[in-house]
Amino acid sequence: MKAKIVTLPGDGIGPEVTEQAVRVLDAVAARGGHEFTYESALIGGCAIDATGNPLPDETLAVCKSADAVLLGAVGGPQWSDPTAPVRPEQGLLKLRHHFDLFANLRPVKAYPALAHYAPLRADLLENVDILFVRELTSGIYFGPRQEQGDGDSAHDTMLYTVEQVQRAARVAFEAARQRRGKVASVDKANVLASMRLWRRAVTEVAADYPDIELEHVLVDACAMHLLRRPASFDVVLAGNMFGDILSDETSVLAGSLGMLPSASLGVGSFGVYEPIHGSAPDIAGQGIANPVATILSAAMLLRHSLGLDDDAQAVEAAVEAALASGARTADIADPNTEPLSTSAFADRVLAHL
Classify strands 213-218 and 271-273 as parallel, antiparallel or unpaired. unpaired
CA distances from residue 282 to 177, 285, 295 in whole angstroms, order as listed = 41, 9, 21
- C-alpha angle 33-291-348 in degrees, rounded to nearest 5: 65
| Identified catalytic residue from 4, 94, 182, 188 | 188
Whether 111 is catalytic is no
Name the DSSP class of 115. Answer: G
* All residues at 6 or more sequence positions from 201 whose CB lies less than 8 Å from its CB, including other chains: 160, 162, 165, 166, 169
CA distances from residue 314 to 93, 108, 299, 303, 352 in whole angstroms, order as listed = 31, 18, 8, 11, 9
3-class SS of residue 349: helix
Nearest to 28 by CA among 342, 265, 272, 298: 298
Within the chain, strands assigned E span: 2-10, 35-40, 68-73, 103-109, 129-135, 182-187, 213-218, 235-238, 263-265, 271-273
Residue 264 contacts residue 136 (beta carbons within 8 Å): yes
| Identified catalytic residue from 67, 244, 311, 331 | 244
Complete edge-to-edge strand list for the sheet that includes strand 182-187: 35-40, 2-10, 68-73, 271-273, 263-265, 103-109, 129-135, 235-238, 182-187, 213-218
Classify strands 263-265 and 103-109 as parallel, antiparallel or unpaired. antiparallel
Whether 244 is catalytic is yes
Residue 310 contacts residue 275 (beta carbons within 8 Å): no
DSSP codes of every residue in 202-233: HHHHHTT-TTSEEEEEEHHHHHHHHHHSGGG-
| DSSP bridge pairs for 312 | none
| Identified catalytic residue from 11, 111, 117, 141 | 141
Whether 331 is catalytic is no
Whether 188 is catalytic is yes
Nearest to 276 by CA among 286, 288, 268, 290: 290
| Identified catalytic residue from 49, 81, 208, 220 | 220
| Identified catalytic residue from 100, 129, 248, 347 | 248
Whether 334 is catalytic is no
Which residues have a catalytic role annotated? 141, 188, 220, 244, 248
